[in-house]
Amino acid sequence: MQSAPLVHGKGIAIPAIGLGTFRAEGELCAEAVQWALDSGYRHIDTAAMYGNEQFVGEGIRASTVKRNEIFVTTKIWWADIADGLLQASAEASLKRLDLDHVDLLLIHWPNPAVPLRSSIDALCKVKRAGLAKSIGVSNFTVAMLDEAVSLTTEPLCMLQAEYHPRLDQSKLRAAAARHGMLWTSYCPIGKGNVFDDPVVKDLAAKYGRTPSQIVLRWQVQQPGTVAIPKSVTPSRIRENIGVFDFTLTDAEMAAISGLKRPDGRIVSPPFAPAWDA
Ligand SMILES: NC(=O)c1ccc[n+]([C@@H]2O[C@H](COP(=O)([O-])OP(=O)(O)OC[C@H]3O[C@@H](n4cnc5c(N)ncnc54)[C@H](OP(=O)(O)O)[C@@H]3O)[C@@H](O)[C@H]2O)c1
């Protein structure tokens, strides 16, 4: 059975590979969580918006892995990040998950109609109440991150953002590092968008790995970086955690980073902030 090493940050130790669950629905989501835990995963990523927290909780309970060995992340939807609403949303998530705390609670997206101070205060209150062991943000820009760090009274330990070989995130990654924050890559395999690229195919052939494993190895070989590939397919769930027994060379890492494109972003809903160039 494979396992993922821990990535250490401000007050957290988080497994470098977690199971993404966006669009994992109903009993299939519960089964995927159970398959993942049985395959060695110890980190599950969900969100209030995914509508699957109850099934994530079901999968955790169905597995033989103890709760205190599993790192669970959930996120507060951007409509609910005002002081008061945020705490109520966190409590509702815990109820659906049937857990007394999550290991990481994130603001899912910024909301321009809500002063950041209000959201960050609320997030800190949730942490102090013991409902979340650690806190962070997702889909923030460099300026928002700087402001959030200046406002917070509890360590902001994680930035979750889109990152894969097609998307250059060097500015945002530098900002997170400057603040001592860890990074979680969402869409870490870019939904397969470079699997047919010769750079990735040749490395897959060289190392006897799949394209997904090459891209995920590229992710976790970068400092302070965690990846949360989503799958509801048992063989892929196993495949995606099997990336800790080989190493890419610096030149190979650079070749994969070189696949970036200006139009590489996949996720940009109407409520997204003005992304850093
Ligand atoms: N914070 C945010 O705003 C945000 C936004 C987006 C995503 N996320 C999180 O990040 C997670 C991952 O992102 P994502 O789901 O958008 O994209 P992704 O993980 O890059 O790609 C998932 C897709 O790739 C397929 N896949 C998985 N492993 C594979 C493999 N080994 N070979 C071939 N295909 C494979 C999956 O299919 P099957 O499931 O059918 O196997 C699914 O269609 C989400 O599930 C969610 O937890 C967060």
pLDDT band, very low/low/confident/very high, at 49 (cuts 50, 70, 90): very high
Q: pLDDT per residue over 242-260, tens digit each? A: 999 999 999 999 999 999 9
Asked whether residue 275 is assigned to any structural domain, the reply reads no
Asked whether residue 212 is assigned to any structural domain, the reply reads yes
Q: Is the CB of 74 under 6 A from ligand 1?
A: no
Number of domains making up the chain: 1
Over pLDDT 90: what percentage of the chain? 99
- The mean pLDDT value for 88-117 works out to 98
Asked whether residue 85 is assigned to any structural domain, the reply reads yes
pLDDT at 1 > cutoff 90: no
Q: Is the CB of 243 under 6 A from ligand 1?
A: no
pLDDT band, very low/low/confident/very high, at 140 (cuts 50, 70, 90): very high
Global pTM exceeds 0.95: yes
Nearest-atom index, ligand 1, CA of 106? 1
pLDDT at 14 > cutoff 90: yes
Asked whether residue 125 is assigned to any structural domain, the reply reads yes
Active site annotation includes 41: no
Asked whether residue 271 is assigned to any structural domain, the reply reads no
Can you give the residue range of the structural domain that contains 233? 6-257
pLDDT at 224 > cutoff 90: yes
- What is the structure's pLDDT at 2? 87
Q: Is the CB of 192 under 6 A from ligand 1?
A: yes
Asked whether residue 270 is assigned to any structural domain, the reply reads no
pLDDT at 181 > cutoff 90: yes
Nearest-atom index, ligand 1, CA of 239? 31
Asked whether residue 120 is assigned to any structural domain, the reply reads yes
- What is the structure's pLDDT at 277? 83
Nearest-atom index, ligand 1, CA of 160? 1
Q: What is the CATH number of the domain that holds 92?
A: 3.20.20.100
3-state secondary structure the chain: CCCCCEEEECCEEEECECEECCCCCHHHHHHHHHHHHHCCCCEEECCHHHCCHHHHHHHHHHCCCCHHHCEEEEEECHHHCCCCHHHHHHHHHHHHHCCCCECEEEECCCCCCCCHHHHHHHHHHHHHCCCECCEEEECCCHHHHHHHHHHCCCCEEEEEEECECCECCHHHHHHHHHCCCEEEEECCCHHHCCCCCHHHHHHHHHHCCCHHHHHHHHHHCCCCEEECCECCCHHHHHHHHCCCCCCCCHHHHHHHHCCCCCCCCCCCCCCCCCCCC
- Cα(65)–Cα(222) distance, integer angstroms: 28
Asked whether residue 206 is assigned to any structural domain, the reply reads yes
Kindly name the residue from 50, 163, 186, 207 that is annotated as catalytic.
50
pLDDT band, very low/low/confident/very high, at 271 (cuts 50, 70, 90): very high
